[in-house]
């Protein structure tokens, strides 16, 4: 068996297409991440009367959510909502800062808590997919690890379909994540407006901060989808090749023919 023509060329024996996809995805992720960090730094200079932790507590109470705890966690932009422990985890800078950036991030994470409370369908689907995604990621990492050390050629055999299947799962998860994240930002903006905080934050800045908070997941989804398409094309481009001599009517060898 062999892969489509040219599939094996490129750095480290991996096709050029792979590096183009990886490079494009990394560039897109870098641009979005850089914009998010730049916006966060900019909006971190604009003061607000309440801290991120206070914004989170206010938003949770206004939705009647009493069983979710707001806590501080280490790191920068490590903010997330944990539906199992029911905690809104805010990075130290967001938790303690009283700025537009901190308020936007805190409100976004509380948007997930509101989704959980209201049984938002996409969030429920995303949570159910987590164990499958973890398994698929571990399996794909193992296959890639073996491939790097030459234990099999990724272009040969059925193992490439294992990669395709794993990428299909992770891509589906990334796509399901998008409505969850953008809806969390939408819920956050609705509450910020109703609470009056959006006016203090200036609406356009609040909306922009929430938009970029969700956009980071777009890069991940595009990257995952691009890798899926790449490996699917490689898998479909494989063919069994057998070289046989073509004989004329007298039984003499006339030329070679390739049977697919």
pLDDT in tens, 85-143: 999 999 999 999 999 999 999 999 999 999 999 999 999 999 999 999 999 999 988 88
Q: In the chain, what are the domain boundaries?
A: 11-46+119-241
Rounded to 10 deg, the angle between the 16-43 and 203-237 helix axes is 170
Would you place residue 212 in the very low, low, confident or very high pLDDT band (cuts 50, 70, 90)?
A: confident
Q: Which residue has the higher pLDDT, 18 or 184?
A: 184
For the chain, percent of residues with pLDDT exceeding 90: 48
Predicted confidence (pLDDT) at residue 48 exceeds the cutoff of 60: yes
Q: CA 133, CA 220: separation in Å to the nearest integer? A: 14
**In the predicted model, what is the mean pLDDT of the chain?**
82
Predicted confidence (pLDDT) at residue 16 exceeds the cutoff of 50: yes
Q: What is the DSSP string of 37-77?
A: HHHHHHHTTSB-SS-HHHHHHHHHHHTT--S-EEEEESSSS
The active-site residue out of 57, 109, 181, 207 is 109
End-to-end CA distance of the chain: give it in Å, rounded: 10
Tokens 């948007």 — which residue?
111
pLDDT score for 243? 32
pLDDT score for 220? 85
Q: What is the dihedral of CA 106, 68, 78, 30, to 10 degrees?
A: -60
Tokens 């030329």 — which residue?
255
Q: Which residue has the higher pLDDT, 36 or 183?
A: 183
244 is catalytic: no
Per-residue pLDDT tens over the stretch 218-249:
888 988 888 898 888 878 875 433 333 434 44
pLDDT score for 24? 80
Q: Which residue has the higher pLDDT, 178 or 146?
A: 178
Would you place residue 254 in the very low, low, confident or very high pLDDT band (cuts 50, 70, 90)?
A: very low
Would you place residue 66 in the very low, low, confident or very high pLDDT band (cuts 50, 70, 90)?
A: very high
Would you place residue 158 in the very low, low, confident or very high pLDDT band (cuts 50, 70, 90)?
A: confident
Cα distances from 52 to residues 58, 71, 88, 131, 148, in angstroms, run: 10, 11, 11, 31, 44
Q: CA 106, CA 53: separation in Å to the nearest integer? A: 7
């Amino acid at each position: 068996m062999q892969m489509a023509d040219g599939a094996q060329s490129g750095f480290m024996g991996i096709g050029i297409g792979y590096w183009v996809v990886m490079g494009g995805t990394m560039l897109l992720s870098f641009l979005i991440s850089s914009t998010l960090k730049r916006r966060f730094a900019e909006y971190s200079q604009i003061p607000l009367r309440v801290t991120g932790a206070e914004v989170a507590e206010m938003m949770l109470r206004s939705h009647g959510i009493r069983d979710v705890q707001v806590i501080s966690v280490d790191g920068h932009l490590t903010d997330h909502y944990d539906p199992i422990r029911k905690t809104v985890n805010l990075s130290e800078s967001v938790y303690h800062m009283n700025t537009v950036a901190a308020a936007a991030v805190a409100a976004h994470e509380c948007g997930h808590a509101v989704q959980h409370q209201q049984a938002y369908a996409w969030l429920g689907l995303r949570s159910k997919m987590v164990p499958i995604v973890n398994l698929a990621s571990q399996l794909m990492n193992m296959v890639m690890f073996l491939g790097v050390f030459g234990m099999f050629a990724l272009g040969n055999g059925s193992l490439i379909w294992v990669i395709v299947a794993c990428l299909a799962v992770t891509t589906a998860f990334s796509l399901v994540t998008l409505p969850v994240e953008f809806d969390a930002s939408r819920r956050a903006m609705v509450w910020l407006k109703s609470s009056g905080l959006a006016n203090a934050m200036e609406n356009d800045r609040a909306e922009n901060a929430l938009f970029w908070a969700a956009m980071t997941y777009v890069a991940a989804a595009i990257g995952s989808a691009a890798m899926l398409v790449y490996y699917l094309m490689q898998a479909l481009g494989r063919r069994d090749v057998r070289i046989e001599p073509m004989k004329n009517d007298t039984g003499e060898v006339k030329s070679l023919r390739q049977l697919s």
